[in-house]
Structure 1
Amino acid sequence: MKVTQEVLPDSQVGLEIEIPADLSQKTYDQVLNKMMRTVNVPGFRKGKVPKQVFLQRVGLTQFKAAVIEELVQNAVDKAIKQEEIDAIGNYQLKSGFEELISQYEPGQPITIQASVDVPPRVTLKTYKGLSVQAEEVLPDPERVDSTLAQYQNNLATLVPIEDRPAQAGDVAVIDFVGKVQTDSGEFEEFQGGSGTDFQVELEEGRFIPGFVEGIIGMALEEAKDVEIPFPDDYSQAELAGKPAVFSITLKEIKEKELPELDDDFAQEISEFETIEALRTSLIERYQEEADEKTKANKDAALVKALVEHLEAEIPNTLVQKEVDFLLTQTIMQLSRQGIDVNKMLSRELVDGMRQRTRPEAIDRLRRTLALGEVAKQEGIKIEEEALQEKIKEAMAEVEDPSQIDPDRLKQVLTEELLQEKILAWLEEANTVELVPEGTLQEEAIVDQADALEATVVETDDSESDAIEVEATAVADDAGETTEADDEGEPEAGKTKKAAKDA
């Protein structure tokens, strides 16, 4: 069988296949015999239908279409094997199917055009001697004290108070009735706006602004009206931004009596015998968290720089597979949150999710390919002993080992270990400058704002307002960026969730 190859974009190989006459006839006979054995025609026993009756019953065009489907599949499979092509996914037929049907005659040669996806064509121009910046995360020096204070607050004893007004930090028991202003200007009670013997901690941020502040200073059995508007961004749209009045009666005042920060306190809330041991444990834990975030920032910066030097053609087969993986992860997460995804997900919604997920899938694949190329060039591999030790650690955290797919677990942990090893190699082969936390985020905001400002200068007045709004949105989005994104973890999860992923 004569096969002519052509290199196509997006990591595809084009195939022109000349199907010889004998294969054409053989396929025709095979399909005819198979269909004649299974078709039901009134007046004939199954398998005993004459050829002409069968063709009249099925239709010549429909039968030839079945032959062409079988012929193309067989020809492509043979061509891939003959040419030793490392194909992934199914083939794509480039010839017109209707044209092939009209051209086809059993026992006559026929030429088809098809294409197959092959592994990505990857070029990593450089991966050594790179200089990147990453934000260094330092532990909050006040976090240990604030954590211990929260533990104290959780164990506080409530002591009734009768000789003073309510003050910040107290716990108040109140009756209240809330009314909201309607479009007519009248104030009417609203659902969920009233309560009896309602206990509220007098701390800022517990309720809508002004509610707690209105209670502070009240005396026992005092009743008062507190006029406060609902915030514009209130979660209930029908109340957002509307004036309201709350009639409040203070029935009880309770003061929090905090336990002492001593060894007894440490033993009650932890496994530590002394308060100093508990403090040391918290300091070490928060330092470890900060170190992990710093490392994630360094990994992300290195991978980002690596990808900038990557040239890769990624076949659609891999992109679709990655999209499916991300979509499955999203659906599983929704299910774990108690959402009935079968009722929620329509075909249109799933198609939209696929389209929105595609850029992320491509980014993940590019990171994976960049790291994989480093491993390939430098011969970075995972030792079997290290892998088995990791598997043992993961299985020790599993309650029911029978629910774990051992092959999947091995794959996940292999990817995790390999990624860690590649990233460690990259850190040694390149320069990572640590900068204070928030520095790079601020620079990103400034750079994007400057770019948008330059665009505003070059546009006319009719476009300026829209661009100004966009610049504000960019600054807001950048301000909400987390301390480190997931670029440092392009494929595998961490060991703690590896068994779960399996």
Structure 2
Amino acid sequence: MSAIIETLENLERKIVVAVKWSDVNAEFDKRLKQTAKKARIDGFRPGHAPLKMVAQMYGASIQNDVLNDLAQAAFNKEIVEQQVRIADLLRVEAVENAEQDAEEFKAAFIFEVLPEVQLADLSALNIEKAVATVGDAEVEQTIEILRKQRTRYNRVEREAQNEDRVIIDFEGKIDGVAFDGGTSQNYPFVLGQGQMLPEFEAGIIGLKEGESKDVEVTFPEDYHGTDVADKTAVFTITVRNVAAAELPEVDEQFAKALGIADGDVAKMREEVKKNVSREVKRRTDSQNVSAVMAALREAHTFDLPRSLVNEEAGRLAEEMKQNFVQQGLDAKDLQLPLDMFVERAEERVKLGLILPILVEENKLQPSDEQIKAIVNEFAESYEDPQEVIDWYFADRQRLNGPMNLALEANVVDFVLSKAQVTEKTLSFDDVMAAQ
């Protein structure tokens, strides 16, 4: 007769299993004899100590192991026979009033089960799908960015103006007293890019190399330097150098600098378009993945196993610590509160319960051709694409990343094909500004 599974709260369950003492004693005797054969006890050759002495030294430990093992085996048997989907075993408790001389040893197993997930009606989902196009204007905008990245600055003797790079000395005082961070020498920056406060930059425009000027600047209330926030300072500024920006021409040399061996400008534009299109697709795809996953989470309501949420929160905390370490911070002893990660952990756990069912019921597993296509796409941006492809396929585990991306794409495409979708056309700037 199967043991009764008791419902506690939410997804917690309890089952009491029983093991016959006769089975416990038989297994105990068996293990005691096995231990005796190897036991090293002073005054006796290995394996020749009296069984009673071995029992005195190791008996308690052996019995504890036997009770744990047989109770666990009984629990596992019940779980299999009753087809229970366990999320995690929380604890094992002694059963009160279980007499030592009774026929059975009893133990209570408290565990969490996985929730029953019924897939929502996907046709009822409302999803906003991001779309964007890459045309000549976007290509030209990108080329202009690439030109600015290769800007050269040439010294000029005229007055400073926006887009010039200036090198200055400055000293700031509040009520006639210098303050921390308010003084610098040979400080370079480009006018008109918002690197300095507007009043500060405005005071420099019109000055020539060697000229000085006192400029009054009021710091904003939310200025990051709390000691000077909402205060007015007078900066004495001396211009040491004024340099005008010179952007490279879009010519053969520029094309070669971008990796076009023969310097063909038309080829360069095609290459820029291909790269920008790939990046725009990657970013819009990322937004659409987020939109689909959010819609799936919102459409399903069920209890989450707290053990899985806590485990995922711990994993996220560890990831953040590793990120800190990679940034050069000493974070090995940092204790991050798990509450910081619970919400995100709940989102991950919920999707982790929904997606396998969605994939299985709708046969969304990726094909070998899909995985290979993603690997080929990865390889395109490398100097030797075939070398990259060979590297991936040399070890099946390396294909886990491309396989997961293909699976994710299948899920997104399937959900969008069923849901009520509204397309939102994004500008190139919006796409590139998205995190």
Please, what TM-score do these two structures have when normalized by structure 2? 0.76
Measured against aligned partners, the alpha-carbon deviations of 1:31-80 in whole angstroms (never above 9, x if no partner) come to 8779999999999999659579949x99x9x9987775455434323433
For 2:416, which of 427, 431, 438 is the aligned residue?
427
The match for 1:265 is 254
CA distance in 2, matches of 1:357, 1:92: 24
The match for 2:406 is 417
For 1:357, which of 341, 366, 373 is the aligned residue?
341
The change in CA–CA distance for 1:30 and 1:169 in structure 2 (over 3 A counts) is same
The match for 1:326 is 316
The change in CA–CA distance for 1:324 and 1:280 in structure 2 (over 3 A counts) is same
The change in CA–CA distance for 1:409 and 1:322 in structure 2 (over 3 A counts) is farther
Letter in 1 for 2:359: A
The match for 2:164 is 170
The change in CA–CA distance for 1:69 and 1:433 in structure 2 (over 3 A counts) is same
For 2:366, which of 379, 382, 386 is the aligned residue?
382
CA distance in 1, matches of 2:53, 2:114: 45
Contact kept, 8 Å, 1:127 with 1:374, in 2: the verdict is no
CA distance in 1, matches of 2:367, 2:316: 29
CA distance in 2, matches of 1:323, 1:398: 34
For 1:307, which of 297, 301, 316 is the aligned residue?
297
Q: Cα distance, 1:325 vs. partner?
A: 3.5
Determine if the alignment matches structure 1 residue 105 to structure 2 residue 105: no
The change in CA–CA distance for 1:177 and 1:307 in structure 2 (over 3 A counts) is closer
The change in CA–CA distance for 1:79 and 1:189 in structure 2 (over 3 A counts) is closer
Contact kept, 8 Å, 1:171 with 1:254, in 2: the verdict is yes
Contact kept, 8 Å, 2:280 with 2:432, in 1: the verdict is no
The match for 1:448 is none
Q: Cα distance, 1:209 vs. partner?
A: 3.0
Letter in 1 for 2:354: A
The match for 2:383 is none
The match for 2:79 is 80
Contact kept, 8 Å, 1:121 with 1:314, in 2: the verdict is no
Q: Which runs of 5+ in 1 are unaligned?
A: 439-479, 486-502
The match for 1:188 is 178
CA distance in 2, matches of 1:390, 1:259: 35
Contact kept, 8 Å, 1:130 with 1:431, in 2: the verdict is yes
CA distance in 1, matches of 2:310, 2:45: 46
Q: Cα distance, 1:29 vs. partner?
A: 5.0
RMSD: 4.4
Letter in 2 for 1:123: Q
For 1:121, which of 116, 121, 139 is the aligned residue?
116
Identity, in percent, stands at 22
The match for 1:148 is 143
Contact kept, 8 Å, 2:171 with 2:182, in 1: the verdict is no
Please, what TM-score do these two structures have when normalized by structure 1? 0.68
Correspondences of 1:199-214 after superposition (within 5 Å): 199-214=188-203
Measured against aligned partners, the alpha-carbon deviations of 1:217-272 in whole angstroms (never above 9, x if no partner) come to 12332222222133433333334333322222223333233333334433334427
CA distance in 2, matches of 1:235, 1:36: 72
Letter in 2 for 1:4: I
The change in CA–CA distance for 1:368 and 1:65 in structure 2 (over 3 A counts) is closer
Contact kept, 8 Å, 2:284 with 2:431, in 1: the verdict is no
CA distance in 2, matches of 1:155, 1:81: 66
Q: Which runs of 5+ in 2 are unaligned?
A: 380-385
CA distance in 2, matches of 1:427, 1:218: 58
Greater mean alpha carbon deviation, residues 78-87 or residues 375-384: 78-87
Correspondences of 1:240-319 after superposition (within 5 Å): 240-271=229-260, 273-319=263-309
The change in CA–CA distance for 1:207 and 1:89 in structure 2 (over 3 A counts) is same
Determine if the alignment matches structure 1 residue 4 to structure 2 residue 7: no
Q: Cα distance, 1:422 vs. partner?
A: 2.5
The match for 1:23 is 23
CA distance in 2, matches of 1:91, 1:45: 44
CA distance in 2, matches of 1:290, 1:393: 14
CA distance in 2, matches of 1:8, 1:124: 25
Measured against aligned partners, the alpha-carbon deviations of 1:313-366 in whole angstroms (never above 9, x if no partner) come to 4434433443343333323322222222214x13xx2xx1x2221221221232
